[in-house]
Structure 1
Amino acid sequence: MSSVITITDSQFETEVERATQPVLVYFWASWCGPCRLVSPSIDAIAGEYGDRLKVVKLEVDPNPESVAKCQVEGVPALRLYDGNQLLYSHEGAITKAKLADALQAKL
């Protein structure tokens, strides 16, 4: 069972862009109410898709470089990358079922 890996700007290239499998990046903030609702779904997805997907989370406030690079305009935000290729993008709260459907379509 895989777990969510917390990363920073300095780890983004290694953990996301150079990853050998698709990576779901979860952008969040401690002050964000909807982020608290989405977090358990992100943890569950990491467990269920751990064989096909790496899940990382990045707090937006201390990591402005990755936020700008990924064009995150609001949180919670999700980006699914395969190398440098963006496969899926979503901003705002999302249910686990809708996220799972989106991942099934892209993986």
Structure 2
Amino acid sequence: MEYLPFILIGVMALFMAMPLYIWLGSKRLQGQAAPDYAALLTPQQQGRDKLLFYFYSEHCGPCRTLAPLIDSLAERHGNVVKVDVVQQPAAARQFGIRATPTLVLVEGGKVVKVLLGAVSAKQLEVLLRGD
């Protein structure tokens, strides 16, 4: 029983390290060339220089709360690409998506910004306008 506290500390450290691992992986993607995403685009989105990819899952609570905001942005700006990670796992793997919701801003074929988790409407507007 002397080793039980060490096992508990190890398990706690593992649970604390997982979000950090996901965050670091997403930050490593920034500045890299974006994977081939032409198959994910609609004809209206083809040729656009700036695209916001929204990776989500139907079973994700934060994704469901963010969905109406993303839908309204997609209608107004037209450069929002919604990718369901369950329906398109290959696309999620290409982008290195490990958690949902994840937003990836691609500009000029390069990943400019990666945001994890739910974000505010103001943050998304600034991201799409480029302020």
Distance in 2 of aligned mates of 1:105 and 1:82: 10
Q: Where does the alignment leave 5 or more consecutive residues of structure 1 unmatched?
A: 1-10
> Counterparts of 1:23-38 in structure 2 under 5 Å?
23-38=51-66
Provide, for residues 24-49 of structure 1, a one-character-per-residue CA deviation record: whole Å limited to 9, x for no partner.
11111111000011111111212232
Helix, strand or coil: the match of 1:90?
A: strand
Structure 1 stretches of 4+ moved >4 Å: none
Aligned to 2:93: 68
- Answer 1 or 2: higher relative contact order, Cα 8 Å, separation at least 6: 1
1:40 aligned to 68, 89, 99, which one? 68
1:83 is displaced (CA, Å) by 4.6
Which amino acid is the alignment partner of residue 54 of structure 2? Answer: Y
Whether 2:20 is the aligned partner of 1:20: answer: no
Aligned residues of 1:29 and 1:75 also touching (Cα < 8 A): yes
Provide, for residues 50-79 of structure 1, a one-character-per-residue CA deviation record: whole Å limited to 9, x for no partner.
3xxx21211112322111111111101111
Aligned to 1:94: 119
Helix, strand or coil: the match of 2:104?
A: strand
The TM-score normalised by the length of structure 1 is: 0.73
1:104 is displaced (CA, Å) by 2.1
Identity of aligned residues (%): 28
Aligned residues of 1:20 and 1:83 also touching (Cα < 8 A): no
The TM-score normalised by the length of structure 2 is: 0.61
Aligned residues of 2:52 and 2:128 also touching (Cα < 8 A): no
Distance in 2 of aligned mates of 1:102 and 1:12: 20
Q: Where does the alignment leave 5 or more consecutive residues of structure 2 unmatched?
A: 1-35
Aligned to 2:110: 85
Aligned residues of 2:56 and 2:101 also touching (Cα < 8 A): yes
